[in-house]
Every structure is written in C-alpha cells, then in structure tokens.
Structure 1
C-alpha cells in the first residue's frame, strides 16, 4: 500500500497531500479496512488535511442502494490531549453532481447518534451498501441527510468519535467534526470556497457531538464560516443521564458511554478496575462489540451497581469521577453564532431539566440560543417531527436572517408549527424516492440562499 505523495505547499508553513482514490471492494468493518489506516507521515500535516479518498455506494439500511454521489475522506484530526488522530467523513453529493457542482451550495455537517464504540456503528460503515450494521442509529438517520441534500445542501457525515470510538469524550467530537468540515471544503469533488456557509445539526448523541463542535469553533477552526447549529435533545448532563437511566429499559446507553470513556481516560479505566467486579468489567467489554440497539436489547433493565464494590451514588461522588463528569458536561463555552435547541418535555431518555441546564449555561456565557420545547413528543418521535423546522431555521441563518435569541418557547407539538407542516410533504417525497431508488437530486430553487 503506497502512501500519497507530498505536494509542494503554497504556504511554507503548511503541508498538503494528493489524496489517493480507492476503488470500492468488499464492505469491510473499519477494524479490518485498510482505508482507515493513515499513510506514513500523516502526523505532521495540519488538522483537516485529506489523507485518502474513495467513492462509495450508500444504501438505506444497507440494502436499498441510493442513486447519489458519495465519497469518503480519511483526514487528520486530534484528540483531547492534542495528539494526532485520524477519522473518516462521508460526503453526499446529488446524483447529477459533476466535478465542482457543489460550488455555491452551503455545507451541512450532520452528526449522527453513533452511541456505541463498535466500528460497525460508525456512519462510514453503517451507511454503505451491503453493510452488516443492524441496530445502528445512523442507518435510520440517513434519510434525514438525503432530504437535506435534496433541499440544496452539500452534506458531510463525520465519524465524530474518531477511529477509536471515543463515545462520551468531551471536545474530541468537536475537533473531529470541524476537521471533517475542513476536509470536505478542500475536497476537489465538492469544490467549495473557504468562506462557504457551514451549518451543524445533530440529535441525541449527535446533538452532544454538535454541541462540542459549536463550542470548539473559536479555538480550533476560527476560519470556518459557521452560521448556525441545531442541537436536538443534546444530552445536557451525561452524569445525570448515567444515574437516571441505570436499571431502566435504556440502561445500555450509559454503559456504552462508560465503555467509550475507558478508551479516553486511562485513569477512569484504572478506577473501574478498582471498584468494578470482573463480571461488571466483562459487561463493559462485551458492549464494545455491539451496535446501539443490540446493546439496548441485551442490557434492558441492567443495574450497574450489581457489579460495583461501592454503591453507585458513592462511586460517582469520588473526586476523580466528579472531575471527569464535570469535563464531559457541555455548555461551558459560548459559540459566536446562533443556536437552536429542540427538546421534548416528556423525553424518556434525555431529561428536559438537563437540557434546560445546558441552555442556561450557554446563555450565561453569552451565547445566542433559541430554545423550543415540545410537550407531546418523546425522544424517538421528536427527531423526524423536527426535521423541516430545523432545516428551515438553518436556511435562515445561511440567508442572513436574524434569529430570535434568548427565546424559550414550549409548544403543544412541533408538528403543528407552520414550517413543520409545510415540510412534511417534501420529506415524504424524499422517502418515496429513496425507497424506490430514484436519483436524489437537489432542487436549485430550494437551495438555502447564501448572502
């Protein structure tokens, strides 16, 4: 396997690479796919540098192949300790795209709810034709990305946990997301200028990743023209969710976070070995191979305290644990662009009080946040119901229309909002085209207008 050959950089302080295009072979999980292995010398290049590219075929639920142009980019990013890492993003272009066709279209970075540490749950694998990824959330969210592309966006979908599956880590998902945006903007097939309007959107675990991306722009990627972010049910307080979901039908979700944090914090892993029994450690190891839904089914009602030598409330109160839980709580930094937060008041997975707290922290730090709460939806239904409104809100930011900062509104149902009702027919049309495997083309007249 040959490494990309270096090219003389235009700026003497930077290094660039010619990306190597890979023809598509068998769909192999990331752990065994050589595409995910960085070429020699990758550590010395800048964050966001494209190291390798390949065209890919994508499909709904791994079976219904979609008639779009899709590419994957291996790019350089960084971890929490500023050590070089790599990740992959999947770029969606309309079926009628040609080289340079993305010019003039805004870029949407959609963060899926990966919510697992297995490579089979990464979007770059789960969205591919013939992928064996049953029970992964990105397969359900793929339709939303197709719909955004049909409305005029270029879409990039990053593996925001990085190649090592650091689920639950602070900041890292933001670095990874922003570097995926950098990589996409520089990718020749997308051909987007550096000042292209960029929007970010994610729900649940993807909303948490989008929170970190929004908070990281000023420090990590200030050159990006980020115009807004939509955070759907963005977790708010992972430590609170851990205690609240333990022993419930969704007990697997905090266990998956713990499995990811073991990979991020060596001290955390040592702490677990001290206070968790061998049976409990075996449970943590077992979920590393599971998709999200498989883990939820397997660990339904699981009580982690059965396998700890301290009561759970005492374990999470240890100073080392408190420090980590404080670090993984979003909301400490105010982005310089507006945000929309959407949350169900009767969410069975993410407590509305935790999201209220995240919004309050943003506003106290000086951020412009519009907050919409829904009284009749719950966690699963709010995502599809909020799609038209979320995309319309982002389109307004691209067009330069002012948001409504500092407004908190609680509605009977987001489905009754004018922009929601107007968009459901278009969503149904996208679903029909995807199921019938018709070409997914963007409607020029519906493109979000740039300033």
Structure 2
C-alpha cells in the first residue's frame, strides 16, 4: 500500500479530482444529449398518479421476468435536454421480500441508431436513488418533463457518466426500479429479485434484439445501488441461474444496514432516517415496534422521509440526533426482537455469488464503514466466490463514484469481451487512488464521440458497434 504524505499532495489530488469530475459531467452530457435546442416537454405524472404503474389483473400467474406492459419514453438531462438514445419502460412480473408475486418497472436503453438485429451485451445499472418514495424512482426522474425541483433534479442525473460510458460501447442498458412500487430500500432479497427480473424482462423484450438467456450480462451499482447489486449477486445462483452473468461491480455497497447508525448526528445522518422509514414500510412488525418507541417528532420525521427524495432528506436531516427521537436508548431499540430480526436479515454475505465480483470501497468512507465490506469480501471468498477487491485510501463516499468509475468500467469491458478468461480466486488491492484510469475513461468516450459526429452543435451519440 502506498502512503500519502503531506497536505500539499492531498490538495493537489483534490484539485485534480475537481477538474476530472467537471470534465466527466460535461463529457457525459455531451455524449448523451440529443440537441441543444429541444422543445419543452409535456409534464410527466409521477408513478403514484400514473396508471402505467398499476399491476394488471392476473399478473401473479405469469412467470418472473414476463413483460406485462411497455411504452417508449424520452429521457433527458435535467429533464429538459433529450438524450440521444432509444428507451422504453417495461413493467414486469417479479417477487417481493416475502417471496410473493409482485411487479416492478425498468428503463431499458439502446444507443441511438443501434441495429436491433445485432446481438450485444446487457448491463443492469442500479442507481443509488435511496428513497422510500416511489416518485423518486429512476423510471420517473430520468424522463423528459419529469421536473423534479432543484437539487433533486440534479441528483437524478448524477449517474449519467456511468450511463454514457456504457452506451459508448454500444451495449444495451437496464435501469431497474429495484425498490419496487413501494420504495423498499434496504430490505432483504427483494432488490436482487427485481434487478434479476429486470434483466430477464430486457432479454425478452423484442425491440432490444438481445439473444435471450445467452446474452452476456453485467451489473453495476454504487452505495444503495451497490446494495441492490449485491442482493442480485447473492440471489442469482438460486433465483435466476439461467442468466449468463459475466461480472458484477459493487461500489461501497451498504452490506450491513445497522452499521449506518455510526453516522448519527453527522452530515450523513439522513441515511438512518431513510433506512428506518423504508424498513418500517416493508416489515409490519418492524413498523409497529419502531413507531411505538418514536416521539411524535420522530414519527413526523419518518412520515416526511417516506415522501421525499434523497437530496431533500439529506439536506434537511443533517446532524439529526436520532436518540432524541426515541423513547428508549438506541442499544435497547436495536435489541428489540422485531428490530433485530429485520436488521440481521439485511446483512449481505450469507449467500455466495457464482459470478465474478469487482468490489471497491473508500477506506475513509464516512457513510459506509470499510470494515463492512472487508467482511463481505472475506465471507464471499471463504464460500468460494471470486472477488477482486480494491480499497481506495484517498476517496470517501462522495468522491469514490467518480474516482472509481474508470477502473470499474475497464473491468466491465474485460468481463464482457468475447472469450474473456475466467476470473479465478480472490485478491485485495490497497491503492492510494483509483483515479489513475479516469482519463482513460474520458478518452474512450471522446473517441466514440469524435468518430461519430465531427461538427460542433449537432446531435451527439455513440458509435454503433
């Protein structure tokens, strides 16, 4: 492991980071934008008011992954500037946390001009939307005209760099609402089921032109999206063994929900409220035990949290002390049988993935403790999984998505390459920073841009591969 010495090195690194992130956002926007003078789009109604999201009668009789309905949609940067892609929403049959039939919605995407008669890999990209409100789901906030206000609208675009990189390769992309129609963040199993069934639905959706279960598949998610991807990794061998999964990339996944309590009173304190509010929606006994020990102020906070997106919760719940909102000590609350049972069930590591894993984590992550994913890697490796684990000593939770993106993207390319060799065994790498490959990612995107469109001001899109 290398060691950083002195403030001068660190400050230089942060300046490089700021410049790189700015370049990445600009490049991603340019890559995906379909025109700078787009006409205003009609307002899009949120899922809670949209009949498309209502499960059709008799859906329970369909097998998991069956497409129940579909519609073509327009995606946009900041809900205004159209993305130069073809995209659809799919409602599909899936399974909930109690192993009962349910439904979910995914947004599936093809590069502009893609030939649907040519086979291509599929990447399932799990956004970190981290909200118990279904009106914050990617299928809504990515649509042109969705119109989320202020910082909430900006947050919904924060993973466009990853989407741009995937589209630049000519791959198909699935972005599932893996929290389902009820906003079940942080629950056990269900995010995995909904991610895997989103892949099944995409493979069955004829306009994408995929090769069915033979389609090479990868998954990628960070933070809450890493948690969803982690459940997909663990559920896939038993729930969807037919999928041709070549690799799963997980960035700082929330692999132990109760560990988030260490952020109590910090700038990340909202993660506690979001997790407890969501689990209260999902598990009736957890709800009753929680609300029985919340003060009236605490109950009102949980109700507000369930109705808001991540940025608003993050800004309004900074430095909240949740002990003040409970009528008993936090340790006693966690010891309640109805609470402990749920938190124990939400810990990743009990089921062993069979697909190759790339796991990356900031050593100084303030939100997701590094020890949780050290343990996850150890558990999976002890069970026979193949895990390439990178521990970044410069990054924390908010910078690692950018710093770690290029190395992750290059790993995905290596896994989806034809005749890629198997990833065997486990390896842990301690690095100063994953930033080294960031310029390579930008260069790859820009090469695809320049090869396709040479004139400034024309619609920009990826090269068909």
User: What's the TM-score, normalizing by structure 1?
Assistant: 0.88
91, 100, 109: which is aligned to 2:124?
A: 109
2:426 matched residue in structure 1: 406
2:98 matched residue in structure 1: 81
1:248-277 deviations in Å (ceiling 9; x for gaps)? 111111211111111211000010122112
Give the 5 Å matches for 1:317-336.
Answer: 317-336=335-354
243, 252, 272: which is aligned to 1:254?
A: 272
In the aligned structure 2, how far is the partner of 1:119 from the partner of 1:325? 22
1:167 matched residue in structure 2: 185
1:69 matched residue in structure 2: 86
In the aligned structure 2, how far is the partner of 1:247 from the partner of 1:428? 42
In the aligned structure 1, how far is the partner of 2:448 from the partner of 2:283? 42
1:184-230 deviations in Å (ceiling 9; x for gaps)? 00001112112111101000000000000011111111111111100
Q: Is the 8 A contact 2:222 2:250 kept in 1?
A: yes
Q: Is the 8 A contact 2:164 2:445 kept in 1?
A: no
In the aligned structure 2, how far is the partner of 1:424 from the partner of 1:94? 18
Q: How many residues align?
A: 415
1:369-391 deviations in Å (ceiling 9; x for gaps)? 11001111221221122222112
Task: Rate the CA distance shift 1:178–1:393 in 2: closer, same or farther, 3 A.
Answer: same
1:441 matched residue in structure 2: 462
In the aligned structure 2, how far is the partner of 1:289 from the partner of 1:132? 16
Task: Rate the CA distance shift 1:429–1:139 in 2: closer, same or farther, 3 A.
Answer: farther
In the aligned structure 2, how far is the partner of 1:246 from the partner of 1:108? 35
1:178 matched residue in structure 2: 196
Q: Is the 8 A contact 1:66 1:437 kept in 2?
A: no
303, 310, 313: which is aligned to 2:321?
A: 303
Give the 5 Å matches for 1:357-436.
Answer: 357-399=375-417, 400-403=420-423, 405-416=425-436, 419-427=437-445
1:447 matched residue in structure 2: none
- How far did residue 171 of structure 1 move? 0.5
- How far did residue 358 of structure 1 move? 1.3
In the aligned structure 2, how far is the partner of 1:362 from the partner of 1:138? 32
Q: Which structure's residues are more often helix, by fraction? A: 2
2:250 matched residue in structure 1: 231
User: Is 1:270 matched with 2:288?
Assistant: yes
Q: Is the 8 A contact 1:332 1:365 kept in 2?
A: no
User: Is 1:192 matched with 2:210?
Assistant: yes
3-state DSSP of counterpart to 1:189: helix
3-state DSSP of counterpart to 2:159: helix
In the aligned structure 2, how far is the partner of 1:81 from the partner of 1:40? 20
2:3 matched residue in structure 1: none
Q: Is the 8 A contact 1:105 1:153 kept in 2?
A: yes
User: What's the TM-score, normalizing by structure 2?
Assistant: 0.85
- How far did residue 402 of structure 1 move? 3.1
Q: Is the 8 A contact 1:146 1:430 kept in 2?
A: no
Please list every run of 5 or more consecutive structure 2 residues that lacks an aligned counterpart in the other structure: 1-40
2:330 matched residue in structure 1: 312
1:19-58 deviations in Å (ceiling 9; x for gaps)? xxxxx97411000011111222211111111011111110
Task: Rate the CA distance shift 1:163–1:40 in 2: closer, same or farther, 3 A.
Answer: same
3-state DSSP of counterpart to 1:438: coil
Q: Is the 8 A contact 1:277 1:309 kept in 2?
A: yes
Please list every run of 5 or more consecutive structure 1 residues that lacks an aligned counterpart in the other structure: 1-23, 445-451
1:217 matched residue in structure 2: 236
Q: Is the 8 A contact 2:269 2:318 kept in 1?
A: yes
2:44 matched residue in structure 1: 27
Q: Which moved more, 1:334-343 or 1:140-149?
A: 140-149
1:414-449 deviations in Å (ceiling 9; x for gaps)? 112xx444223234678999x9683322452xxxxx
